[in-house]
Structure 1
Amino acid sequence: MKRTILLLLTTLLIGLKVNSQNLTCSDFKTGRFYIPKTKEIGKYTVVSNDSIWEFTADIDTSVKKHVVVREKNTQIEWENEIGNGSPRHEIIEWIDDCTYRLTYDASKSELEDDKQWINKNNGIIVSKNKIEGNCMHYTATMILNDGSKISQNGIICKE
């Protein structure tokens, strides 16, 4: 009886170990993801001419998360769920396994002024800070043409 229980527990533990996910940056290259609304999502840090300051942007309280469907070099992003409102089409340029440049795809839809401004400043560089569970913590940084940097921390999670 003890052997049966011991064998059952051992099999269960091995099964749990095999099925546990140890995600890597590669797991965030394709698939379906969500960006949860967090306290950090509206906070930005600006570094310009040896000065640093932070500001918080107004956030639409009706948006609880962004849903992202990512293929190798493109992604489509919706607010709250797929099919909700107008999707944002984005182009991904992979710099390395954990870092990419994100720009908006003007061939898919007319870009609003803020998206055009991001593209004119060479897009947003997204780099991994750490992976916990099914989520990657990242820093998104824009380096403006005048040399200033705007950065934001965020989380993207694999569904």
Structure 2
Amino acid sequence: MKYHLFLSSLLLASLSFGQELTCEDFKKGEFIMNTFSSPVLEWDMTRDGNKQVETIKELPEEFQGIGYPMDPKTLRIEWIDDCTYKLFADDANGELDSISQLINDSGGIHTELIKIEGKCFYYKSICIIEGEEIVSEGKLCKK
């Protein structure tokens, strides 16, 4: 009986003091982001409220030499709620490339939380360009 009581209190203590991340924990900090669909990419990312800066770590060979942006990209975040937001290319530093402008003109990239596991946020992003829905899924993990 004492053994069961001890295990029960240990379980309750671990539930009380265990750290569960929420959507709020992904609004600021340094992250690694991965996409699961083509192109499969990995980024270093820094986020601070309404600003996100992404740098591709390594561009797959099939995307090299075709103008895929390798420089750090600054994005503006419009939060819809704690777990949903839209991303827009930030034009504060000059003119946008044609793809970024098309994304902005189409209403941005709508991103929503699917689930949080450990220190990772699994997401689904949708962008509608010229009537075509482009879906991307991936994860964002705290460094």
TM-score after normalising by structure 2: 0.74
Determine if the alignment matches structure 1 residue 72 to structure 2 residue 72. no
Partner of 2:32: 34
Partner of 2:114: 129
Q: Which amino acid aligns with 2:56?
A: E
Q: Which runs of 5+ in 1 are unaligned?
A: 1-5, 43-56
Determine if the alignment matches structure 1 residue 157 to structure 2 residue 137. no
CA contact (8 A) 2:102 2:129 kept: no
CA contact (8 A) 2:119 2:142 kept: yes
Aligned-partner Cα distance in 2 for 1:15–1:122: 44
Q: Which amino acid aligns with 2:119?
A: N
Aligned-partner Cα distance in 1 for 2:44–2:80: 23
Aligned-partner Cα distance in 2 for 1:115–1:26: 27
Q: Which amino acid aligns with 2:19?
A: Q
CA contact (8 A) 1:68 1:76 kept: yes
Give me the CA root mean square deviation. 2.5
Give the match's secondary structure for 1:23.
coil
CA contact (8 A) 1:74 1:91 kept: yes
- 1:23 maps to which of 4, 21, 24: 21
- After superposing on structure 2, the runs of 4+ consecutive aligned residues of structure 1 that deviate more than 4 Å are 14-17
Aligned-partner Cα distance in 2 for 1:16–1:78: 37
TM-score after normalising by structure 1: 0.67
Give the count of matched residue pairs.
Answer: 123
- Deviation string, structure 1 residues 87-122 (Cα, Å, up to 9, x no partner): 101000000000000000011243222111111111
Aligned-partner Cα distance in 1 for 2:15–2:48: 29
Determine if the alignment matches structure 1 residue 113 to structure 2 residue 98. yes
Matches within 5 A, 1:1-20: 18=17, 20=18
